Structure 1
């Protein structure tokens, strides 16, 4: 099959979306498909320091994947300009699409940003290419939940686009069973929705897991290392880690590392300095090899979501932590989809973001019980192998694509 994948972030950019679609594209290529990716030109703030001054080709073949990049203005911390960027992407990508002068059997589009639904609609009207919308997050609900989106007119506009996307998509995939219910309740056809977890190629992840020298390099071999590695945005509730660190400050052999970047990084830096939270270290995004080195060197990893988050989302980092056999503390709403998966896999302990004392108690419980940590980590790896195998995911998508192609002909 000739598959077009569309995602706003792609390698060499760092982050969940970039690597989720890079890995999935490689899985398609390994199964004999021709894969093209339309994406944005790498943004400096999403790159490793060593890559920030590099020039990247507009067209490039990476591991058998034909990557086509689009240049446009990009900001991270100004919400209005970031939102404006999202609304300009459909036409920018569509212009690039027409220049490719290629015919595809099917398109797979990563959402958010939600306006990329309009790109899908454009290519369908242009040459009849059917499309699958892969909802990784649900906007505007998540933006409303955490108080980022308050303008009533903008909320109505985004909800209108959301309903159109659910109604008109040829097919929709979501990350959880809760996502199926969420989309159906908003007008989606349950016959055209399927739950497919994000997956990983375990053989590739295992290559990274050989390295475990982060503690030695940091001079913290004698410390119990607790890590949060991921995006630093209002959705994650990362500030709760600072609160628990203050409670556990007297535990001199416990140290927290927050690894990542995003909208609230500066706020975290200011709080750490102002409140003298000396048992928390803040590092920027790391190359993939070093990211896994940090995870593999950690004693506990944290998955965190703001308590106000009600939409059924799954943090992208979850599959990586499971692959690395990490015991997880999930600081997430207890009725969330993330909590459901953690409990189903029995790979960690769920703690409500509002209960910081329980968070501290859970850390101490796991710190003193190495057997439990290993058991939880092993359970996560097993669940991943059985439910998040990327080869199986690629096959699941193939079956969806085949139905759409058959329907088209």
Structure 2
């Protein structure tokens, strides 16, 4: 009889965010490897894509208490969820999702292993309780370190709540059958929080190299009114969430200093700080900065191909506890990066010896901006191309979808072999 994997994640297809895409591929690898796979998730609410909803329609169950859909032969159970602006409503929705997903998981038959990514940390606790009741093993995937991430961001200051979350973290790490983290920096940060250190494994994130790959500029199809053909201009781009995890001040300051030069900045996406970025562009009359709406995932290879250089400026208070998965997609498309992040952070350590990125580790804003401006003024397009190809080689060697997803399958098989 096939072993059954229950993937319990706050996002999954047809939601259009990076963790959803990541776990779509992990789910498919388990199915391909002969496992019975079910996914327990929410209705799309982070990045709702009309085309994706058409391809994967959801059917109401029990008068809308939950929904079901089919993702390439995999059953997906969706608990209704909305992206409320009001904090109290978000909390209520979050609690509702936890309770209902717990009971839906309880009624799933003969589950052998439950896999879930963070955030949220609480999903790990729910799955440990669930696993004890249904006799399954549990694997928890640390995509971001909580509660450290919230504390350093400044959004979590309540000492009693911090103590509770740290207790949950200890329980999740030590009661799970295995914990996966995505790189050596994360590993070093949390390894001493384990009683049994052999439970912690490093499996990096990956990129779908079938989708993300180099494109001939001639084959790039984009709206010319938004992305004009300017071969002499250096095109510097960021595409993703415009939020607190990024540091927008150095970008604005650099754009001010470079506003009279042949350098254009493209900021593509949505997020809580988009209005702030747009207001700064208006305030400083930055005609060299273009803030554009979210573009479909299928256009990302074209967007990356259109650019000469991709930038990621990490917010200092959050840079130690997160790793942007877009790093892999950019490298897979053979484009170089311009990174602002501290020396001991995951993104800096990952890229430091790859020769495919400019790395700015300075903390002081003026120094940081000075280095960014110098890099952009002296950027040579032939050098940028060479850097891009070095990044692609690294991805092909170590971080393709096919190479990494099988490590999840191998870990599950290893857990059952130890029985």
What's the TM-score once normalised by structure 2's chain length?
Answer: 0.88
Whether contact under 8 Å (1:90, 1:118) holds in the other structure is no
Answering whether residue 150 of structure 2 is matched by residue 140 of structure 1, we say no
User: What does residue 62 of structure 2 align with?
Assistant: none
| Partners of 2:396 and 2:227 in 1: CA distance | 34
Answering whether residue 105 of structure 2 is matched by residue 97 of structure 1, we say yes
| Partners of 2:357 and 2:314 in 1: CA distance | 15
User: What does residue 14 of structure 1 align with?
Assistant: 16
| Partners of 1:14 and 1:335 in 2: CA distance | 30
CA-to-partner distance for each residue in 1:356-383, whole Å, 9 max, x for gaps? 11111112232xx122211211111111
Whether contact under 8 Å (2:44, 2:81) holds in the other structure is no
User: What does residue 181 of structure 1 align with?
Assistant: 188
| Residue number among 172, 175, 179 corresponding to 1:172 in the alignment | 179
| 1:237-276 superposed matches below 5 A | 237-251=247-261, 253-276=262-285
| Partners of 2:249 and 2:110 in 1: CA distance | 47
Distance 1:15 1:338, change over 3 A: same
Which deviates further from its counterpart, 185-194 or 18-27? 185-194
| Partners of 1:406 and 1:127 in 2: CA distance | 20
Instruction: Indicate the SS of the match to 1:199.
Output: coil
Whether contact under 8 Å (1:3, 1:35) holds in the other structure is yes
| 1:383-402 superposed matches below 5 A | 383-402=394-413
User: What does residue 156 of structure 1 align with?
Assistant: 163
User: What does residue 48 of structure 1 align with?
Assistant: 49
| Partners of 2:223 and 2:308 in 1: CA distance | 11
How big is the shift at 1:49?
6.2
| 1:266-345 superposed matches below 5 A | 266-309=275-318, 311-345=320-354
Distance 1:104 1:185, change over 3 A: same
Which deviates further from its counterpart, 200-209 or 4-13? 200-209
User: What does residue 63 of structure 2 align with?
Assistant: none
What residue ranges of structure 1 are gaps of 5+ in the alignment? none
| Partners of 1:207 and 1:385 in 2: CA distance | 12
| Partners of 1:83 and 1:306 in 2: CA distance | 25
Whether contact under 8 Å (1:230, 1:261) holds in the other structure is yes
How big is the shift at 1:208?
8.1
How big is the shift at 1:196?
0.8
Distance 1:168 1:299, change over 3 A: same
Instruction: Let me know the Cα RMSD of the aligned residues.
Output: 2.4
CA-to-partner distance for each residue in 1:107-155, whole Å, 9 max, x for gaps? 1101111110122112212111101100100112112212222222222
CA-to-partner distance for each residue in 1:69-88, whole Å, 9 max, x for gaps? 1113432x555654554454
Which deviates further from its counterpart, 167-176 or 21-30? 21-30
Whether contact under 8 Å (1:27, 1:390) holds in the other structure is no
Distance 1:188 1:377, change over 3 A: farther
Whether contact under 8 Å (1:215, 1:221) holds in the other structure is no
Which deviates further from its counterpart, 151-160 or 122-131? 151-160
Whether contact under 8 Å (1:200, 1:389) holds in the other structure is yes
What residue ranges of structure 2 are gaps of 5+ in the alignment? 60-66
Whether contact under 8 Å (2:14, 2:53) holds in the other structure is no
What's the TM-score once normalised by structure 1's chain length?
Answer: 0.90
| 1:115-134 superposed matches below 5 A | 115-134=122-141
User: What does residue 220 of structure 1 align with?
Assistant: 228
| Residue number among 367, 372, 376 corresponding to 2:387 in the alignment | 376
Whether contact under 8 Å (1:141, 1:311) holds in the other structure is no
| Partners of 1:188 and 1:297 in 2: CA distance | 49
How big is the shift at 1:315?
0.6
| Partners of 1:272 and 1:124 in 2: CA distance | 51
Instruction: Indicate the SS of the match to 2:211.
Output: helix
Whether contact under 8 Å (1:258, 1:283) holds in the other structure is yes
Whether contact under 8 Å (1:105, 1:405) holds in the other structure is no
User: What does residue 33 of structure 1 align with?
Assistant: 35
User: What does residue 376 of structure 2 align with?
Assistant: 363
| 1:66-105 superposed matches below 5 A | 66-75=75-84, 77-78=85-86, 81-82=89-90, 85-99=93-107, 101-105=108-112
